[in-house]
Amino acid sequence: MKKSLLSIFCICILFACAPKPEDQLTIFKKINEETLANSRAYETLEEATRTIGHRLTGSEEGAKAEEYTYNLLKGYGMNVAYQPFEVESWSRGAIEVQIGPQGKLAPVPAVTLAHSPVEANVMAEIIDMGNGVDADYEAQPGAVLGKIALVYIGTLPNSPEGTPGLHRSEKTALATKYGAIGIIIINQVDGGVLLTGTASVTGSLIPIPAVCIGKEDGMALKESLKTTKQFTSIKMTNQSGLINARNVIATIEGSEFPEEKIIVGGHLDSWDLATGAIDNGIGSFAVLDMARTFQALNLKPKRTVQFVMFMGEEEGLLGSRHMVNEAVANGTIDQIKYVMNQDMSGNPVGFGTGGRSEAEAFFKQVGAEIMMVDSTTFKNRVSGGAGLHSDHQPFMLQGVPYTSPSSNLDRSIYGCYHSDCDDFNLVNKEHMVNNVRFSSMMLYALANADTLPAKKLNDAETKAFLEGHDLKLKLQIGGDWRWEE
C-alpha cells in the first residue's frame, strides 16, 4: 500500500513538474520578440538584389536565386529540397515600335509583353478597343480583323458599370479571338513608365505581338484616333525554349498531423527590367524569414509547414501549377489543407479569407490575439474576396482554401510594378518586418489549430465557389475552366 501511494505521489510530482504547452498568445509574443530582434528579411533581399539582380525564370540569374535561397534555408538548419520542373521559358530581345498617320510613322517608346512571338514584323491600322473586353469588340463587329487593337490596361474612367477588370493576358486573348494581328496596351501609370508582364493566359507563346506603351503616349494616341487614322509598325525578336527551373521547399514536420500540410509561399522569380524588389522580393524574402523565425524558436505546430519559393509565377504560375499537378498525380493533394500566399505583401493590417466566409470568425479571433501583441500597426481587418493571377490560383482551383495578408503599403511603389524602376530603394524595412511578424503568427495559428477555418472543397463545391466569385469568365478565357456546360 505504501509503495502504491509512493508511486502515485511520484507520478503526480512528475506531471506537476512537466512543462505545460505554451498558449498561443505566448507563442505570438515570442515570434514578435524574435522577429524584431533578429529579422533578416530586409538584409537578405538587399544582398540578393545587389549580387544577383533580376530573377527571371530560366535565366542564369534565376538559377542563382534558387541556389541562394536553398543555401540560406540550409544555413538556418532547415530540411530543404528542390522541386525541379521543365518549362517553356521566354526572354525578350529587340523591339521597335513606330506609330503615326500612314507614311508619317515615328518611333514610340515601348516594351514587349512576355510570350510574344519569337519574331514579328507587322504593319497595320490601329483600332481603339477601349477596355478591350468582349463588349468593346461586340460593339464594333469585325473592326480589328487584320488590324492592331489598342486597349487600356485597366478600366477607363466613365466605363459602363459592371465592366470586367481583365488581366493583360485576358485582353490579349480576346484581341486574338476577334482577329487582331497585334495588340498595344496603354499603361495606367503617369510619367511614361513602361510595364512588362505576360500576355499569355497559358504560359505558352501567343500568336500575335503584344506591346505596352506609356500612359501619355497612349492617351494622346486615343485622342488622335478620333479624327485621323493611325498606323503602327511593330518589329520584335525574342527567345523561347524549354529550360529547367526549381521550386525551393523547406519543411517543418508536424508534431501531431504530419500528413496535413500548411503551405506558405511566395514567388521568387521576377521580370528582367529591374531587380523585382517589390514584385516579389518583399513577399518571397518575408517567407524565408518566416522560416528562419520558426526554426530559431524551434516551433513544432501540429501540422507540417512548408515554406516555398515558387519559380515561374510571372510566366504563368508555372511553379505552383507544377506543385499542384504533381500532388494531384501522386494522390497527395488532399494533404494540402491551407495555403498562405505572399505576393507583394507587407505591413499587414489584417488577412483575407480567400472568399471563404466561413473562415472569417477564425481570422477575426486570431487577429484579436495579434492585436494583443501590437494594435498600433495591425488592425484586424478581414477581407473576403477571391481572385486570380498569383500562386494561390492552382490550389484554389483544386478547392484548397487560401489566405493572404491585407497589405498597407505606400501606393506609390505600385507605379514601378513590372517596370524598370522596381529596385531595392523602394523597400521599407519596417514593413517587411511587420509582415514577417504578423504572418508568422497567423501561420502558426493555422498550423496548430484544433479545427481549420475552412475545408477543402470537392469538385462540385469548387465550381460553385468560382462561379459565386465571378471568376468563371476569366478562367474560361485562360483555359482553366474544366467544367463542361
**What are the structural domain ranges in the chain?**
24-88+242-477, 102-229
CA–CA separation, 465 and 455 (whole Å): 13
**Contact, 302 vs 249, CB < 8 A?**
no
Nearest to 447 by CA among 362, 377, 385, 386: 362
Task: Label residue 67 exposed, middle or buried (CB < 10 Å: 0-12, 13-18, 19+).
Answer: middle
pLDDT for 202: 86
Nearest to 439 by CA among 285, 261, 286, 270: 286
Q: How far is CA 139 from the centre of its chain?
A: 34
For domain 102-229, the CATH class is alpha beta
CATH (one of 3.40.190.10, 3.40.1280.10, 2.60.40.420, 3.40.630.10) for 24-88+242-477: 3.40.630.10
Q: For 101-160, where are the E strands, in sequence order?
A: 106-107, 110-112, 119-128, 148-152
Dihedrals φ, ψ of 50, to 5°?
-75, -40
pLDDT for 7: 52
Q: Does the N-terminal peptide bond of residue 280 adopt cis geometry, omega within 30 degrees of 0?
A: yes
pLDDT for 18: 46
| Grid coordinates given for 370 | 495579434
Q: Please report how the helices 60-75 and 282-296 are oriented relative to each other, as an axis angle in degrees rounded to 10.
A: 20
| Grid coordinates given for 419 | 517596370
Q: Per residue, what are the HEC states of 274-313?
A: CCCHHHHHHHHHHHHHHHHHHHHCCCCCCEEEEEEEECCC
| Distance in angstroms between the alpha carbons of the first and the last residue of the chain | 76
CA–CA separation, 215 and 59 (whole Å): 30
pLDDT for 5: 52
Cell 475552366, residue?
481
CA–CA separation, 213 and 236 (whole Å): 14
CA–CA separation, 212 and 197 (whole Å): 9
Dihedrals φ, ψ of 107, to 5°?
-60, 140
The DSSP-derived string for 309-340 is EE--STTTSHHHHHHHHHHHHTT-GGGEEEEE
> 225: which residues sit within 8 A by CB, 6+ positions away?
126, 128, 150
CA–CA separation, 83 and 97 (whole Å): 40
pLDDT for 348: 98
User: Parallel, antiparallel, or unpaired for β 182-186 and 106-107?
Assistant: unpaired
pTM above 0.85, yes or no: yes
Q: How many CB atoms lie within 10 A of CB 123?
A: 15
Cell 497595320, residue?
124
Alpha carbon distances (Å) from 410 to 193, 271, 279, 344, 403 = 18, 21, 14, 12, 21
What are the average pLDDT values for consecutive 10-residue runs of the chain, which has 485 residues? 50 47 93 98 98 96 98 98 92 97 97 98 98 98 98 97 95 98 97 95 94 98 98 97 95 98 98 97 98 98 98 95 98 98 98 98 98 98 96 98 96 91 97 98 98 98 98 93 88
